[in-house]
């Protein structure tokens, strides 16, 4: 007799009431696009109302202060220096901003792994084609035997020509958590820059980006952190910020303001945005942290 799968369908927990999931569907793939709690969607609507009621006032008088507050709270949550953090729509945009800004040449090798996310690997291919840099791929087996095996397979591909290493923090295809901190430390000791695709890390792992020490780190807030769609961040070390430009060049490129860093001036305004996704991040950090007595640790 064939099993009756409908009888084994799990029931939603009490937490299901906070989301808009179809009760007839058991939703497993949260990591692909994320899902936003109902209360956060309501908060997003409030920000949109605030924007539309007095659009000019919002963008000219309120926008930067609200964005800075969200930046500060997200930086605290991920252990980043707020002066190094800007908002981007998704991690792929962060990868584009870094790779398309850096001055690679035919003498350079760009190291990645066979687990790299397809969209970001495509950016690497695009940049290599334009600059004649060479892509080197470290073959990480799956299943993997140990963290040491990942480190060894990657480091054996490093050469004197390695200019940058692009690796996932958590791989999209397999869910492997790479030993990022150990890898970064070894590469920092060799003077090699690191670009970490942390698309799945915020909200899944406890992060301390300052301690981690990556040159560049980008992550999504709309996946496991459950912010509205289009919320992500890019962290760039202070001594590298002069190199990195947003994908869209706008007013910040020739701004004469001296009250904000060029990094903020360029990334914080790339055209008229709907910033409600970014502004909801503090609210969603607080909300998810309130669901269990032990907060985010639990």
pLDDT (0 to 100) of residue 199: 97
pLDDT (0 to 100) of residue 7: 57
Who wins on pLDDT, 286 or 172? 286
Average pLDDT over residues 269-296: 96
Average pLDDT over residues 5-21: 76
Q: Is the pLDDT of residue 3 over 60?
A: no
pLDDT (0 to 100) of residue 291: 95
Q: What is the DSSP string of 126-140?
A: HHHHHH--EEEEE--
| 67 falls within a domain | no
Each residue of 109-121: pLDDT tens digit? 999 999 999 999 9
Domain of 93 in residue numbering reads as 80-289
CB atoms under 10 Å from CB of 177, counted, come to: 16
Q: Is the pLDDT of residue 99 over 70?
A: yes
pLDDT (0 to 100) of residue 6: 54
Which strands form 232-236's sheet, in the order they lie side by side?
85-88, 232-236, 216-220, 193-198, 162-168, 109-113, 134-138
Rounded to two decimals, the pTM is: 0.94
User: CATH number, domain at 110?
Assistant: 3.40.640.10
| 106 falls within a domain | yes
Q: How many domains does the chain have?
A: 1
| 262 falls within a domain | yes
Q: Is the pLDDT of residue 171 over 80?
A: yes
């Amino acid at each position: 007799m064939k099993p009756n799968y409908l009888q084994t369908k799990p029931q939603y927990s009490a937490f299901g009431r906070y989301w808009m999931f179809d009760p007839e569907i058991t939703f497993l793939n949260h990591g692909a696009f994320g899902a936003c709690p109902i209360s956060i969607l309501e908060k997003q609507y409030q920000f949109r109302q605030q924007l539309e009621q007095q659009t000019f006032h919002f963008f000219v008088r309120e926008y930067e202060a609200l964005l800075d507050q969200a930046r500060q709270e997200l930086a605290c949550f991920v252990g980043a220096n707020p002066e190094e953090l800007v908002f981007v729509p998704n991690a792929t945009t962060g990868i584009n901003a870094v790779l398309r800004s850096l001055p690679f040449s035919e003498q350079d090798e760009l190291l990645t792994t066979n687990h790299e996310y397809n969209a970001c690997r495509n950016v690497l291919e695009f940049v290599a084609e334009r600059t004649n840099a060479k892509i080197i791929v470290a073959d990480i087996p799956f299943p993997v035997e140990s963290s040491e095996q990942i480190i060894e397979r990657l480091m054996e591909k490093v050469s004197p020509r390695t200019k940058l290493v692009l690796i996932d923090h958590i791989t999209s295809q397999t869910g492997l958590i790479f030993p990022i901190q150990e890898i970064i430390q070894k590469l920092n000791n060799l003077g090699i820059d690191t670009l970490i695709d942390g698309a799945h890390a915020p909200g899944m792992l406890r992060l301390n980006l300052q301690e981690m020490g990556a040159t560049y780190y980008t992550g999504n807030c709309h996946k496991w952190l459950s912010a509205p769609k289009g919320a992500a961040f890019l962290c760039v070390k202070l001594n590298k910020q002069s190199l990195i430009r947003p994908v869209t060049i706008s007013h910040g490129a020739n701004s004469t303001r001296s009250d904000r860093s060029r990094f903020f001036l360029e990334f914080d305004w790339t055209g008229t945005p709907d910033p409600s996704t970014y502004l909801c991040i503090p609210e969603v950090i607080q909300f998810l942290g309130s669901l269990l007595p032990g907060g985010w640790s639990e």
